[in-house]
Amino acid sequence: MSDQLLVERNSMAAETAQAADAPMVKVSNLVKHFRRADGTTVNAVDDVSIEVMPGQFTVLLGPSGCGKTTLLRCVAGLEHPVGGRVEIRGRTVFDAATKVNLAPEKRGLNMIFQSYALWPHMTVAANIAYPLVCKKVKKSEHAGRVARALEMVGIPELGKQYPSQLSGGQQQRVALARALVSNSDLVLFDEPLSNVDAKVREQLRFELLSMQRELGFAALYVTHDQSEAMELAHSIAVLEKGKVAQSGGPQEIYRKPSSRYVGGFVGTLNEIDGTVRRIDPDGTAVVDTEVGELSAGSVADGVKQGDLVVVSCRPERVELNLVEPNDIANRWQVTVTASVFSGSRTEHVVTFADRDFRLWRSDSVLFETGTAAWVGVATEDLRVLPF
């Protein structure tokens, strides 16, 4: 990217420096319902509170219908919530109690739509210049800033084209340039990568990441793709039926999910039912299960002694051996039912007590179906979740 743009960014960052530890977006107790055709109401967003810090990449993650896009659109001002509060840069843009509801154009943010929403009757350059026109930037600056934005997204030669003449990936870049041209410090993304093919998606994801880290805008990003969320996010909010199921950094969400829903959504989860015998002061727990006593390194909030629980672990954290691994705390006997080579790893399915476990190994050793074997999981890799 050009130095000049970077200077502009930095000066803007300096202006807002005093607010560096104040959230860029603060959503408090937001409620939005939709009326179904049969007259019943559905809470699409149900008492949600989240924060987006300046320069941070925050991802709203969840399956379709969990309310993540509705939440994003409420922040943008495109949907009208019925309860709660939205603040942007410390300024209240929506408040149900005091009936404040700022129009989207007055909220000072940018957004990239799932369909890109490029205006087909304007050239690429005119599309990108539009926010500058709206914000009454001097006309003499337009050409230069559009050119710099185009260069930044890697398509400097396409300014005179019409959107319909571009590929999906190029359209995506134009949408990005349009969102970035006015140097906004807040950009919303509504599943922007779901309409391009896998190869382009990976490339764009990488570029988006480096661009965000370099320019330092705050991003609120909606996706249903957990690997996309893991790669991009500083912090993730996993949504379930209009509520925030868990929020935190990608590692925390993956390693320490708060529920089976979150754990299962961000990755594959192996589960064994059990009952908590005791929870030690250091946070480890002993759980009675059908494979005997297991010691788990962490326990989700709210789990108490005597609770029915699920002991969970990730497939890549399970050892698979033909002989008993005496150096691992938790180990039990299994039968291999499938063993498949899938390129970057081998995948195994093992059975014990009518239960399946999935295992991913980085070696390429395959087992015959029916082989008797041992699995072993370290204490730190087992987590106790509410049933």
- Residues at the site binding other proteins, with contacts judged by CB under 8 A: 76-80, 82, 94, 96, 99-101, 103-105, 109-111, 113-115, 117-121, 130-131, 134-135, 162-164, 178, 182, 188
Structure tokens given for 283: 């946070």
What is d(CA 383, CA 254) in angstroms, rounded to the nearest whole number?
11
Nearer to other proteins, 131 or 248 (CB): 131
Q: How far is the CB of 204 from other proteins (least distance, A)?
A: 19
Of the two residues 175 and 276, which places its CB atom closer to other proteins in the complex?
175
Backbone angles phi, psi at 335, to 5 degrees: -120, 130
* Residue closer to other proteins (CB basis): 85 or 314: 85
Minimum CB distance to other proteins smaller for 162 or for 387: 162
Taking the complex as a whole, how short is the minimal distance between the CB of residue 134 and other proteins, in angstroms? 3
| Shortest Å, Cβ 82 to other proteins | 6
Nearest residue (CB) to other proteins, 100 versus 308: 100
Q: CB neighbours of 383 closer than 8 A, spacing ≥ 6?
A: 255, 256, 257, 263, 296, 297, 298, 299, 300, 311, 312, 313
Least spacing, CB of residue 61 vs other proteins, in Å:
22
By C-beta, is 22 or 102 nearer to other proteins? 102
- 290 φ, ψ (degrees, to nearest 5): -70, -15
Residue 86 burial class via C-beta count within 10 angstroms: exposed 0-12, middle 13-18, buried 19 and up: buried
Q: Which residues contact 378 (CB under 8 A, 6 or more apart)?
A: 297, 317, 328, 329, 330
Residue 77 beta carbon to other proteins: minimum distance, rounded to whole angstroms? 7
CB of 7 to other proteins, least distance (A): 23
HSE, CB side, 13 Å, CA atoms: give it for residue 206. Answer: 7
Report the candidate in 204, 254, 207 with the shortest Cα–Cα distance to residue 226.
254
| Residues contacting residue 326 through CB under 8 Å, at least 6 positions apart | none
Nearer of residues 130 and 387 to other proteins, judged by Cβ: 130
- For residue 218, the minimal CB distance to other proteins (Å) is 15
CA dist 312 and 296 (Å) reads 9
What's the min distance (Å) between Cβ of 119 and other proteins? 6
Of residues 13 and 117, the one with the C-beta less far from other proteins: 117
DSSP-derived 3-state class of residue 200: helix
